[in-house]
Amino acid sequence: MNKLYFLFFVVIGLSSCRKEATRWNSDWSAPLLNDTLTLMNWVNDSTLNVDNSGYYDVNLQRELFRFDLNSIVGIPDTTLQNNFSIPSSINIPPGYSFVNQTEERDLQLNPVELTKIHLKKGQISILLKNPYPTKVICSIQLPGLTKNGVVVSSTIEVPAGSLINPTSGTKIIDLAGSQMDLTGLSGGSNNKLLSNITVTSDPNGPSFTSTIAYVTQVYATIKNVELEYAKGFFGQQTIVDTVEADVELLKKWIDGTIDLPSLNLNLKLINGIKAMGRINLKELTTTKSNGTTTTLTSSQINIPQNVNSAAGSWSSLIPSETNFIFQTNNSNLQDFLENAGSKIKLVYEFVLNPLGNISGSWNEFFPNSVVKLDLTLTMPLGFALDNFTITDTFKLDLTNYQKQLDQARTGEMIIDLKNSFPIEGGLMLKFIDEYNQTLVALSEFKTIKSCLFGSTSSSSGTQIQETQIVWQFTEEDFKKLSSTKNIIVIGKFNTPDPATMMNSSVWLSEKCFLGCKLRLNLNYESKYE
């Protein structure tokens, strides 16, 4: 009988046993992308302008370098030490000032010789060490330093110490907004910091005997100083530097050529300090990722040019401008830009006060003073492209979707495009894994035709060419896609003339757009265990 029951349970158990996953296929369609690309976002962004005829002009404005004036004419963090002692043995009663001394210290700013400065920020930290067996009161006055018209001063009380273990007291004075006269006690010097220090014994403390062994030490540390005004002689200084820039857009250019129209490149040195200078653009080069370097050649390269001093002062300050204008008729600018690589390098030399102190120590800089080199590139946005190929990589992590991709059977990505650019483009996609191995390549270049081959829209008056691109995905493709970490998009561009089918120059108008609608059709196997 027991066997009978056992058999019964086995049969029941087996009859209800799930042997495989439940699966079925379904068809899904969904839009993925719907957007219109224009160049309008770059207008008024120091990149593009629209001219009176409605065509784009390149108006690229970039700052190549800007001097930090505080690194040329500034006060580095400095500590000054003063020691005070009484040469003979003396009894010090309560409330007695036994140190009262005015000091003049040089800030060691050579070759800069400053006579007056305004501080935007900064601090003086005073540290006093007291060896006496009573509390002392230290009064510090900085006669050349005024804030809101009042001489800066401070008081520190330091508890009783001993010869072996002097006690310390500190005080931090904020210098922001203060002005400093650095002409010293004589009134005709420079870089001089004046201080007056008085040390008084505790009025309520005991008397004590001071000997020569008792030394009061005072440390004044000037730090974090940033000037907003300086006057004096800023020294004859030579700055040689190299500015390198990576242009991401040009990194993506991997093949083909571009033919540019007439263009202007203007490099402008703006000098906002009242001091003469001299600028020498020693070398301007562009280097492609394959190592090919093109050098800008011109009579203005590696030739020093004098830089005039700024005029006026404070709110009436007028900076001087020194221009380097490169055009196709005075340089190889066209060749330089048509071969532009992603790495652009400028080597320059700037000399401050090249003729020495000829201003009677009357160099000045003001809060609004700058010394910088600006680049301006202007040209109509027109070009001829011949298999001009660019590539870009976008992050697309599909590794979390392995299960879903494994269940996809077939799919097609359909892109409907409306192109009103006079440019013909080909698109290719590569899905790559974390080791940059290609998993799936939609390798056939799908062509987006130039609008010049399309028809004229009655509403906008622009020529529009409509194109549909279809990419098919197999089940194997979907399985491979589950390791995707990045997607590489490769675009190949030409500017064919419908009459000759030869690539020729085209100009882009503000009405140009590329409308893109991407949708996905997917046959998917739903599955659960």
Residues that bind another protein (CB under 8 A): 1, 4-5, 8, 11-12, 15-35, 37, 394, 396-401, 416, 517-519, 521, 524, 526
Report how far Cα 435 is from the mean position of its chain's Cα atoms. 30
The nearer residue to another protein, 22 or 500, going by C-beta atoms, is 22
Query: Which amino acid, 444?
Result: E
Q: Which of 244, 217, 449 is nearest to 341 (CA)?
A: 244
Copy the structure tokens of residue 355.
Answer: 């003729």
The nearer residue to another protein, 18 or 500, going by C-beta atoms, is 18
Shortest Å, Cβ 510 to another protein: 19
The nearer residue to another protein, 8 or 314, going by C-beta atoms, is 8
Q: What is the DSSP string of 263-294?
A: -EEEEEEEE-SBS-EEEEEEEEEEE-TTS-EE
Shortest Å, Cβ 37 to another protein: 7
The nearer residue to another protein, 20 or 476, going by C-beta atoms, is 20
The nearer residue to another protein, 40 or 301, going by C-beta atoms, is 40
Place of tokens 């829209």: 457
Shortest Å, Cβ 69 to another protein: 32
Rg over alpha carbons for the chain, rounded to the nearest Å, is 38
Q: What is the DSSP string of 412-481?
A: EEEEEEEE-SS-EEEEEEEEE-TT--EEEEEEEEEEE--GGGSEE-TTT--EEEEEEEEEEE-HHHHHHH
Q: Report the C-alpha gap between 54 and 529 in whole angstroms.
A: 62
The nearer residue to another protein, 29 or 242, going by C-beta atoms, is 29
- N- to C-terminal Cα separation, the chain: 36
Shortest Å, Cβ 341 to another protein: 24
Q: Report the C-alpha gap between 318 and 197 in whole angstroms.
A: 43
Shortest Å, Cβ 527 to another protein: 10
Shortest Å, Cβ 145 to another protein: 46
The answer to whether residues 429 and 525 touch, using CB atoms and an 8 Å cutoff, is no
The nearer residue to another protein, 23 or 66, going by C-beta atoms, is 23
Shortest Å, Cβ 427 to another protein: 14
